[in-house]
Structure 1
Amino acid sequence: MYSVIKKSLSHIVATSVFLILISVYFAPSIFQKKTIQQADMQKAAGMATDVEEYYKKEGGISAWSGMMFSGMPSYQTRFYNNFPNYLNYLEKPIKAIDYTGASMILTALICFYILMCIMDIKHWLAIAGAIAFSFASYNFIIIAVGHITKMYVIAFMPLTIGGIKLLFRKNWLWGIVVFTLGICLSVVNGHIQITYYLFLFCIFLFVGLVVDKFRKKEYLFSVKASGMIVLAIVFAILPSMGSLYINYEASQESTRGQSNLITVKDKEENRRQSPGLDIDYAFSWSYGRSELLTLLIPRAYGGSSIETLDKNSQFYKTYKALGGKLGTTVKAPTYWGNQPFTAGPVYFGAIVCFLFVLGMCVIENPIKWWIASASLFFIFLSLGKNFMLLNEFLFYHLPMYSKFRTPAMALVIPGMTFPLIGFWGLSQILNEKADSKQIKKSLIKSFSVIGGICLLIWIMPTVFLGFNSPTDEQFLSKYPQLIDALIADRCSLASNDALRSFVFILLTSILIFFFLQSKNKKAGLAIVSIGILVLITIDMWGIDRHYLNYKSFASQKLAESYKKTASDEFILRDTSLSYRVLNISRDTFNETNTSFFHKSIGGYHAAKLKRYQELIDHRIINEINTIYSVFQTATSFDELQNVFKNTPTLNMLNAKYIIYHPDKEPLINLQANGNAWFVSKFVFVDNANQEMKALNNINPQQTAIINKDFTKSIKIKNIVPDSTSFIQLVEYKPNYLKYISSTTFDQLAIFSEIYYKNGWKSFIDQKPVEHFRADWTLRAMCLPAGRHIVEFRFEPDKYNLFAQISSIASLIILLGFVGILIFQLGKSFRFAMIKK
């Protein structure tokens, strides 16, 4: 009984330490109810306001939103689900604390602590390891910008690894439970790219463990463990069938899927067409080779693209001398790597990097080589275009890999394995499971290598690093004097952080050396464990505060950041059921301010529909430029209206209003086609390239371009012009549109709505009918003569089926987990009473 209480007490202490840490760090959100001003979360608030309003006012649930990109599925923007996932109840107690902040770090702390306990790491050392993993800079940087799902999936990764370890220790019950929950919670939280990386790492670990068992001739055990893992994976993905289907669908229909067009660039470069994203786009955020120094020295590459510098910096002094008005600090583009921009460096921690090398020296278990190999593999992945020898091959051949962008994200796996190896090795030293002489040699080698790198960068940074950015002249062309000042500051940041890292490594080495020399090993163990815990907390906390601090919090709710402009007020007076707005006063395709109030031609999303993106690239951008060019010189209303005769794509998308200045009345496009219209003729084309090209030569108000794939859908041989015919939108909801039509002859109707085959159903007088795609991305339908009611309903049957399966499976798994937990607790209590 005493041992049970003692173990429980140690876990309570660990949880208390974690709660204290997050309470201090996230005090504004926990105690003052402030909100981190996360850019991505702010944008998310404006992505699907029609879906939210529909739910709040009518209780309706829509999986389609009309607010961005002329309409798109709302699964990955804002979606209220009819089918609850009961596994969310496991997370609710933690997520209720501070969903978009502290809860993520608390989840990571608990999960890595569980992994440390499974690895038999002693109490205080396990807490230190959890802090090292959870307080890595990347975690706080993605919280600061609002990558919520990504951080939750990172936080749950250690559970999956812990489950595999338990299974290969023949702890079948808890191995299955922990492994299944790890995968379940990873997939449920919905960042497939991180889960994909975790899956690849698990392959490395699994193969390593199987090889080890084969070496020991435990063949039957390996087969049994493999079967258990496969079974667990099947059970684990069932509660996420709905979200997995969404991602599969997105991989086919969104920009994650293969392009419909064979571009001139592909032909000229004789380049293989990507099965997913364009390789140049996918590899934009590739970590630099020498930029990997940031894992050890945080600002070796300058920190972030808008780093805060104090009044002692050269940039501050020079800018002030040039007459700049400044406060106590200044923002400067100190980052000089080749990523387009970055919110901060990936810093594992000086102590963690040192312990990783030391761990590799002292751990005798061969599994370390598999973990180290996996770490190296993911570091290579993170280099993206900077290591094309491997990454180009994987991009075109590794299943699903071409669906993801931002290769630098792959560093999340070494971000877990470095502290894993580091604290595993440290535990071997402190538990005296390694030879003392060997430890001392390893300690000297590790200190010489890792500490030596820091010393070299501290003493002579310019010998090893350049500090020049290719964008300096672009951003600072007006003040060339600032470039030299910026380079001096970059050099200073790298040098100072190198010294800082060296000090932490030196102090850690002293603590370990103290333990090796101490006679009272029990006291030495406690001192070293707590000492390293304190040092790691100071190290990681200090860097994290650069990128997420109390200034990041504000009382303003995310939706309150959207303020109506004079243009918005003018447009909102229009009581028409549906029309669209083009905002050229902002970055049209990288903002959600417009879609917060209106149905927008633009928007912001990493996985918009690929046909719409192709329409943007090949048509809409050109038409926006046309508007710009004429707008600069136009002197009359008629001139402005004439320009819209040359914007057929915007017209067919019903772009009724154009915002050119937020404080002025918008332009009204009288050429907009409206919600629906009848065409006088249609033209068939053979392929996607011809389809896009044909849009250059038609007036979509009169002619429809139809791909030959829809030949059988056309029931009209010849269209008879009918001046008395009309079609009118009479009811609009995000997932429902109702029209009244009247024609003397059969007609071909075109609707200014996005064609999407996975869910939209069409009806005439409540009877199902076929609709098809026209003009690249719009809906079309053959309407019989007479007066009719035409309806479109978004009913994604496949998704609904998979979501139901998910809901039922999640309930079964939750009940099974609770049952096992109650059974095991009862078993432990009975055993303790019998022993007593």
Structure 2
Amino acid sequence: MAASARSSRSRKASTVALPAWHGLWDRLPERHRHLICLLLLLALSLAFFAPIHFGGKRLIGSDTVNWRAMAQSVIAYRDSTGTEPLWATNAFAGMPAYMISYPAKVPQVDSLLNWLRGFLWPTSHFFFLLAGTYWLVVYLTRRQWAGMLAAVAYGLTTYIPIILKAGHNSKFIALCFAPWLVLAFVHGLRRPRLLSGLLFAVVLAANLRAGHVQITYYVAFLLGLWWLVEGVAAWREGRPAVFGQATGWLALGSMLALLMIAQPYWPVYEYKQYTIRGGSEATGGGDGLDWDYAMGWSQAPGELVTLLIADAYGGGSPTYWGPKPFTEGPHYVGGIVLWLALLALWRRRGRTAWILGAGTLLMILFSLGSYFPLLNRFMFEHFPLFDAFRVPETWLSTAALVLALLAALGGGWLLEQQPERSRTLRPAYQVWLGLVGLVLVLWLARGSLFSFERPGEVEQIARQVAAANNVAPDDPRLLQAVRQYVAEQRTVRSNLFGRDAQRTLVFLLLAGGLLWLYDRQRLPGWGLMAGLTLLVTIDLWGVGRRHLNEEVLTDAREATDLIPTYSFDRFLLERQREAGGPGHFRVLSLESGNPMTNARPSYYHESIGGYHGAKLRLFQDYIDHLFVDPATGLPRSRALDLLSVRYVVVPAGASLPGMRVVFEDERWRVLENPSALPRAFLVGRYEVVPDLTAHRQRLLDPALDLRQTVLLREDPGIEVTPIDSTSTASVRLVRFGPREIVWEVATDAPRLLVVDEVYYPAGWHATVDGQPAPILQANYLLRAVPVPAGTHTVVMRFDPASHVWGVRIAALATLLAYGGVLLLLGLGWYRQRRKG
């Protein structure tokens, strides 16, 4: 009887007429729905960055400031001459500028966004990210609100504002192109034709030109998995020919894209062979990054809870208590996105959900880095290019995109159900209850599950305080004070965990309420998805604003406004003018800790320091083995002499052996190094020491007079004459620049011209009176050129063939790709016109 009554009520409910507004969205023309969604996404972007667009603020991250300082010599030369410098003279004693400032020369679709960037940053690219995610999901599901939800879930995931705050702009731009790359790939699989291959080439080239190959590699990994699964399915379903055709067009697009980025990537690839990311300590070739270096910033397994509870690990520094050295904030996607993603994995039966699920799982496992060596050590040692990238947690930035796509599929599953039929939405309730229960357990049992203390935190703080106060690190009073401080921090961190657990719980409860209303037919399907999209927006907006807030924005107009100028900078620039301009000496600034991570001096001076993640291997070896005397912790005099460091900046009151004070104010001293070698000089002796270790040891031998003898890696095959009091030998700098250095050299006998410029064989060429001359690797990381007796003009030019031919190849390939797209689209339009 009771069952009959329930059935009657169910039938009655199903016959109740729904309000007219329930079908409002579906009655709109499709193009109007797309337009409304895109306008909403544009409004979202403008609103999120309102202080920048409407408040006169600027977003200039610390890495942007460091980059601008590093790039100053490159930008100044380009602006003054109109020529691409290719070589940065002011950082690390000189290095290729390919990964500092090396714009693509051939216009492509990303050139338009870069133009918009000049006055609409970051919306210029952020809206492009939102629109790309929207169209990708619409292509997969045909549902506009599912696209809106995915766009918001990916665009506002906390990692995006965090990298914008830090100034990781190339990474952000690559992430903006990621959904478009997935869309072009999926379209190519589903519509195998020439036009699809060309479109894939256009998007892949644009993604790579963002300049962050690591992100492109991560997305390509997902695409490779997608291709593999679709290939197996095509074989089982008896359609290998169609799949083979799609693969062929995509392969063509991939090859064409690689040609389209021959510039800038050919020179970058060439450079990589000589860096810490790809080169051996010799002169090229190698095994990629060191395991420990590459695995820095691995995501601890417990820290994955931040995907669900934002500040479970304290958020960003200084409250962060996880095992990473430091972090700006969590990889947070929110409870609603995880709920819908899990629902899609459970209930969606199509291959797409399983591909995305497998991709998410692998990316999360890769993000664990050194915490999961069973997988990651194997990948590091055997999988192509896996060892070329560091910071494994970066995998989570791509996982956020995949989770957003899964959430859209989960939302689409909800819309496919019929709420008037009993129990169709039960799986959604079950996943929702499971997630709510998990959050409750984490919240209530957090004191038992988490320590809220950084590993070794007490000992680390004790050592720092002891060093600052000149007391023993095991002093009982010191340890008691430190333990009390750490206990207070544990309370703060526990409260942050509890606050965000409650926050996640509230959003899940609100999402559950929307589901209930939809189940009771009090809310239409589009209303459910719009409501969930709004909740995800509010959730991620709130957490993102913690990191991208008014405090991190600035009134400065340009990054250069944030580079300070000190009185000693003016003093050193005056010494440079007196010496005849650049090319006469170098500077070492010890103004702020490690000079090899401080780019500020490179804005003003020819510095041996800087800030860069892909230094030349030779220079990194100089830092590791020559620069610092391990007995004193101070720079070696021989190491400074070697690189022509005439002036050293130290804090007021500090000194270095053998140097005299030439400038001083209340904060700084400038010391002059009288033993610094000239930037170019002649020697009449050489020793051949091929072995690198022996070469370095001999270089540090105080009995070796570097003004008379040069160390070489190979025999030059010439006879030279020692220089004595009766010899005539002189070198005069005529012209110095990043592309060309010219000297007048006079010598009464054959000798070697030692040039204090970093050895880089991939592009530097020498001539003596217009005739080619070899450039020898000298004194480990410098150059030498044989010079016969007489007066000569010696020229070194940096003119890498990879740059010249890279531009030509990229231009031709771009013309083929874009011309092909326009031609095929034009033919399609013409055929439609004729049919009409």
SS in structure 1 at match of 2:651: coil
**Which residue does 1:456 correspond to in 2?**
441
SS in structure 2 at match of 1:426: helix
SS in structure 1 at match of 2:736: strand
Q: 1:524 Cα deviation (Å)?
A: 1.1
CA distance in 2, matches of 1:462, 1:470: 16
The answer to whether residue 96 in structure 2 is matched with residue 84 in structure 1 is no
Kept in 1, the 8 Å contact 2:342–2:410? The answer is: no
CA distance in 2, matches of 1:304, 1:471: 19
CA distance 1:725–1:261, change in 2 (3 Å): closer
Kept in 1, the 8 Å contact 2:299–2:393? The answer is: yes
Q: 1:788 Cα deviation (Å)?
A: 0.9
Superposed, 1:302-381 pairs within 5 Å as: 302-305=314-317, 333-381=318-366
Kept in 1, the 8 Å contact 2:204–2:257? The answer is: yes
Q: 1:626 Cα deviation (Å)?
A: 5.9
Q: 1:693 Cα deviation (Å)?
A: 2.1
Kept in 1, the 8 Å contact 2:276–2:620? The answer is: yes
Kept in 2, the 8 Å contact 1:730–1:740? The answer is: yes
The answer to whether residue 668 in structure 2 is matched with residue 656 in structure 1 is no
CA distance 1:594–1:718, change in 2 (3 Å): same
The answer to whether residue 588 in structure 2 is matched with residue 582 in structure 1 is yes
1:415-457 deviations in whole A, cap 9, x for unaligned? 1111111211211220338996675332233123322221111
The answer to whether residue 606 in structure 2 is matched with residue 599 in structure 1 is yes
Greater Cα offset, 444-453 or 393-402? 444-453
- AA paired with 2:54? F
Find the partner of 2:178 among 157, 163, 167.
157
- AA paired with 2:249? M
Q: 1:623 Cα deviation (Å)?
A: 8.1
The answer to whether residue 799 in structure 2 is matched with residue 792 in structure 1 is no
Greater Cα offset, 66-75 or 204-213? 204-213
CA distance in 1, matches of 2:534, 2:780: 60
CA distance 1:261–1:235, change in 2 (3 Å): closer
1:6-57 deviations in whole A, cap 9, x for unaligned? 3332222122112211111212322344321301100011113222222222
Kept in 2, the 8 Å contact 1:163–1:174? The answer is: no
SS in structure 1 at match of 2:646: strand
**Which residue does 1:570 correspond to in 2?**
571
Find the partner of 1:207 among 190, 207, 228.
228
Kept in 1, the 8 Å contact 2:138–2:146? The answer is: no
Greater Cα offset, 698-707 or 562-571? 698-707
Q: 1:748 Cα deviation (Å)?
A: 1.3
Superposed, 1:573-652 pairs within 5 Å as: 573-574=574-575, 575=577, 576=579, 577=581, 578=583, 579-586=585-592, 587-622=594-629, 625=632, 627=634, 647-652=637-642
1:301-336 deviations in whole A, cap 9, x for unaligned? 11011xxxxxxxxxxxxxxxxxxxxxxxxxxx2111
SS in structure 2 at match of 1:20: helix
The answer to whether residue 512 in structure 2 is matched with residue 509 in structure 1 is yes
Greater Cα offset, 364-373 or 459-468? 364-373
CA distance 1:123–1:93, change in 2 (3 Å): farther
CA distance in 2, matches of 1:828, 1:21: 37
Kept in 2, the 8 Å contact 1:285–1:340? The answer is: yes
Superposed, 1:702-781 pairs within 5 Å as: 702-707=708-713, 710-711=714-715, 713-716=716-719, 719=722, 721=724, 723-781=727-785
Kept in 2, the 8 Å contact 1:359–1:424? The answer is: yes
Superposed, 1:292-311 pairs within 5 Å as: 292-305=304-317
Superposed, 1:215-614 pairs within 5 Å as: 215-260=236-281, 275-305=287-317, 333-432=318-417, 439-470=424-455, 472-473=457-458, 474-475=460-461, 477=465, 480=482, 481-518=484-521, 524-556=524-556, 557-574=558-575, 575=577, 576=579, 577=581, 578=583, 579-586=585-592, 587-614=594-621
CA distance in 2, matches of 1:799, 1:666: 39
1:48-89 deviations in whole A, cap 9, x for unaligned? 3222222222323210011000000011112356x3233334
Kept in 1, the 8 Å contact 2:90–2:606? The answer is: yes
CA distance in 2, matches of 1:783, 1:168: 61
1:208-239 deviations in whole A, cap 9, x for unaligned? 11222222211211211111211121122221
Greater Cα offset, 208-217 or 616-625? 616-625
CA distance in 1, matches of 2:251, 2:784: 46
- AA paired with 2:740? Y
Q: 1:800 Cα deviation (Å)?
A: 1.7
CA distance in 2, matches of 1:246, 1:785: 36
Kept in 1, the 8 Å contact 2:184–2:199? The answer is: yes
Kept in 2, the 8 Å contact 1:131–1:536? The answer is: yes
**Which residue does 2:12 correspond to in 1?**
none
CA distance in 2, matches of 1:746, 1:197: 55
Find the partner of 2:81 among 51, 58, 74.
58
TM-score (norm 2): 0.87
CA distance in 2, matches of 1:177, 1:110: 21
Kept in 2, the 8 Å contact 1:652–1:701? The answer is: no
CA distance in 2, matches of 1:107, 1:95: 12
CA distance 1:791–1:33, change in 2 (3 Å): farther
**Which residue does 1:95 correspond to in 2?**
117
CA distance in 1, matches of 2:151, 2:530: 13
CA distance in 2, matches of 1:45, 1:809: 31
- AA paired with 2:57? K
CA distance in 1, matches of 2:798, 2:631: 31
**Which residue does 1:803 correspond to in 2?**
807
Q: 1:366 Cα deviation (Å)?
A: 3.2
CA distance 1:598–1:93, change in 2 (3 Å): closer
1:494-513 deviations in whole A, cap 9, x for unaligned? 11111211221222233223
Q: CA RMSD in A?
A: 2.6
Q: 1:171 Cα deviation (Å)?
A: 6.2
SS in structure 2 at match of 1:758: coil
**Which residue does 1:668 correspond to in 2?**
672
CA distance in 2, matches of 1:382, 1:766: 54
SS in structure 1 at match of 2:753: strand
Kept in 1, the 8 Å contact 2:201–2:817? The answer is: no
1:787-812 deviations in whole A, cap 9, x for unaligned? 11111111011222012211232233
The answer to whether residue 156 in structure 2 is matched with residue 135 in structure 1 is yes
Q: 1:627 Cα deviation (Å)?
A: 4.5
Q: 1:165 Cα deviation (Å)?
A: 2.5
Kept in 2, the 8 Å contact 1:354–1:450? The answer is: yes
CA distance in 2, matches of 1:435, 1:661: 76
Q: 1:130 Cα deviation (Å)?
A: 0.6
Gaps of 5+ in 1: 263-272, 306-332, 629-645
CA distance 1:29–1:714, change in 2 (3 Å): farther
Gaps of 5+ in 2: 1-25, 466-477, 653-666
The answer to whether residue 129 in structure 2 is matched with residue 108 in structure 1 is yes
- AA paired with 1:142? I
Q: 1:826 Cα deviation (Å)?
A: 6.8
CA distance 1:773–1:439, change in 2 (3 Å): farther
1:745-802 deviations in whole A, cap 9, x for unaligned? 1011211111110111111112221111111100101110111111111101122201
CA distance in 1, matches of 2:681, 2:99: 31
CA distance in 2, matches of 1:148, 1:420: 24
Greater Cα offset, 62-71 or 240-249? 240-249
Identity of aligned residues (%): 27
The answer to whether residue 711 in structure 2 is matched with residue 699 in structure 1 is no
**Which residue does 2:472 correspond to in 1?**
none
- AA paired with 1:526? W
Kept in 2, the 8 Å contact 1:584–1:624? The answer is: no
Find the partner of 2:94 among 71, 76, 84.
71
CA distance 1:438–1:240, change in 2 (3 Å): farther
- AA paired with 2:644? N
Greater Cα offset, 146-155 or 599-608? 146-155
